[in-house]
């Protein structure tokens, strides 16, 4: 049995690898345990590009938040927010508008506990433990309902989370339920592990994550694009992670398909 750290909620199963903490390890964070590190190492030995892919995802999140804040959005609902290792959403957005409100939502108690510690002094930020597979329950949580209530545009972030939602839980239905609760002018930023780019890696990688509480379902470009039904896709549409509004043309690199994740941002008319 793994000894617990002070910020880990009692009852957390530290012996079973967990997606939030594996991702933290990939990003170079310290909120992970031996079971998480062991699985991350196995995943990297199968697919050495993985840490680069995770950093590319996190860089997309940063650019998407900077873009949306630059468009005047001051409310963010970050679903599957994880452990805010580097560049938390509220820090990025508050650089543009210091009063920006952010609600972080994750179903992992460790991610939630650590996020609460990190933002406890910021009156504009709240953290909610909830499951995106129950969108109506999530929307009914007081901090989320308050964020949506006064009718200002809200950016919903579903970054690297829907691939942890199985087909049975109807991810397109979840996105549609969220979309219908959003005021006009709101936005969706989404990234998702795709079956394209490196189809040779999909099977082994999905098998590894089958050991966690959150198995992985990689999806096609058509399925990922369909999440934006009812939104107008912002240029350049749904593209590989580094291709979404790179800071410089060189930042894309010669093989963006190696990052395999697809990403996009849409606005609600
Ligand atoms: N969004 C952050 C980012 O892209 O940097 C973190 C992504 S991390 C790979 C995925 C997160 O989604 C984990 O923290 C995991 O706990 C969370 N997650 C997975 N399934 C979820 C669900 N059904 N409801 C809420 N959170 C979920």
Which residues approach ligand 1 with their CB closer than 6 A? 19-20, 23, 57-58, 61, 80-82, 106-108, 111, 131-133, 159-161, 164-165, 214
What is residue 25's three-state secondary structure? helix
Distance CA 12, CA 245 (A): 39
Total domains in the fold of the chain:
1
Segment 257-267 shows an average pLDDT of 92
User: Residue 130 Cα, ligand 1 centroid: separation in angstroms?
Assistant: 11
pLDDT for position 195? 86
Q: Atom 27 in ligand 1: which residue has the minimum CA distance?
A: 80
Residue 83's pLDDT is: 83
> In the prediction, which pLDDT does 4 show?
53
Q: Does residue 167 belong to any structural domain of this protein?
A: yes
Mean pLDDT of 97-126: 93
Residue 154 belongs to domain with CATH number: 3.40.50.150
Q: Are 55 and 258 in contact (CB under 8 A)?
A: no
Domain contains 103:
yes
Site to probe by mutation for ligand 1, drawn from 19, 113, 244 as the one with most ligand atoms within 8 Å of Cβ, is 19
pLDDT at 203: 83
Q: What is the pLDDT of residue 87?
A: 83
Quick check: is 4 in a domain?
no
10 has pLDDT over 70: yes
Highest-scoring range by mean pLDDT, 6-15, 51-60, 196-205: 51-60
User: For the segment 18-46, what is each residue's pLDDT rounded down to a tens digit?
Assistant: 888 889 898 888 888 999 999 999 888 88
**In which domain, by residue range, is 77 found?**
49-267
Residue 3 in domain: no
Size of the chain, expressed as the number of residues it contains? 269
pLDDT for 268 equals: 95
Residue 44 lies in a domain: no
Per-residue pLDDT, 198: 80
Predicted confidence at residue 262, as pLDDT, reads 97
**Residue 35: inside a domain:** no
220-249 exposure pattern, b = at least 16 Cβ within 10 A, e = fewer: ebebbbebbeebeebeeebbbbbbbbbeee
Q: How far is the CA of 81 from the centre of ligand 1 (A)?
A: 6
Q: Identify the residue whose tokens are 């959005």.
A: 73
User: What is the predicted pLDDT for the residue at 251?
Assistant: 87
Mean pLDDT, the chain, as a whole number? Answer: 91
pLDDT tens for residues 180-235? Answer: 999 999 999 999 999 887 888 788 888 888 877 788 899 999 999 999 999 999 99
d(CA 152, CA 99): 14
pLDDT at residue number 7: 67
- What per-residue confidence (pLDDT) applies to 247? 92
110 inside domain: yes
Q: Is residue 14 pLDDT above 90, yes or no?
A: no
Q: How confident is the model at residue 2 (pLDDT cuts 50, 70, 90)?
A: very low
pLDDT recorded at residue 104: 97
Mind giving me the DSSP string for 28-62? T-S---HHHHHHHHHHHHH-TTHHHHHHHHHHHHH
Q: What is the pLDDT of residue 260?
A: 86
Provide, rounded to the nearest whole percent, the portion of the chain with pLDDT above 70.
Answer: 97
Q: Which segment of 138-147, 150-159, 206-215 scores lowest on mean pLDDT?
A: 206-215
What pLDDT sits at residue 29? 86
Residue 13 lies in a domain: no
For the segment 249-264, the average pLDDT, to the nearest whole number, is 87
**What are the C-alpha distances in Å from 71 to residues 48, 95, 154, 268?**
36, 13, 11, 13
- Please determine, for residue 82, whether its predicted confidence score (pLDDT) is greater than 70: yes
Beta bridge pairs of residue 85: none
């Amino acid at each position: 049995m793994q000894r617990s750290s002070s910020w880990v909620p009692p009852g957390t199963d530290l012996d079973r690898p967990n997606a939030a903490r594996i991702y933290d390890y990939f990003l170079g964070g310290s909120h992970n345990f031996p079971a998480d590190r062991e699985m991350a190492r196995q995943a990297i030995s199968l697919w050495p590009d993985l840490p680069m892919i995770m950093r590319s995802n996190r860089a997309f999140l940063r650019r998407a938040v900077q873009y949306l804040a630059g468009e005047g959005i001051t409310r963010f609902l970050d679903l599957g927010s994880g452990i805010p290792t580097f560049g938390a959403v509220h820090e990025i957005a508050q650089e543009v508008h210091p009063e920006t409100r952010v609600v972080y939502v994750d179903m992992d108690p460790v991610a939630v506990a650590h996020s609460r510690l990190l933002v406890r002094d910021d009156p504009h930020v709240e953290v909610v433990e909830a499951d995106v597979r129950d969108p109506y329950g999530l929307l009914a949580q007081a901090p989320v309902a308050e964020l949506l209530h006064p009718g200002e545009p809200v950016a919903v972030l579903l970054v690297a989370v829907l691939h942890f939602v199985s087909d049975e839980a109807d991810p397109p239905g979840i996105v549609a339920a969220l979309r219908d609760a959003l005021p006009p002018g709101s936005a969706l930023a989404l990234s998702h592990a795709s079956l394209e780019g490196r189809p040779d890696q999909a099977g082994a990688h999905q098998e590894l994550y089958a050991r966690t509480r959150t198995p992985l379902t990689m999806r096609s470009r058509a399925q990922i694009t369909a999440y934006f039904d009812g939104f107008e896709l912002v240029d350049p549409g749904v593209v590989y992670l580094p291709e979404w509004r790179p800071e410089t043309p060189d930042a894309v690199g010669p093989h963006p398909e190696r990052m395999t994740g697809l990403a996009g941002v849409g606005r609600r008319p």
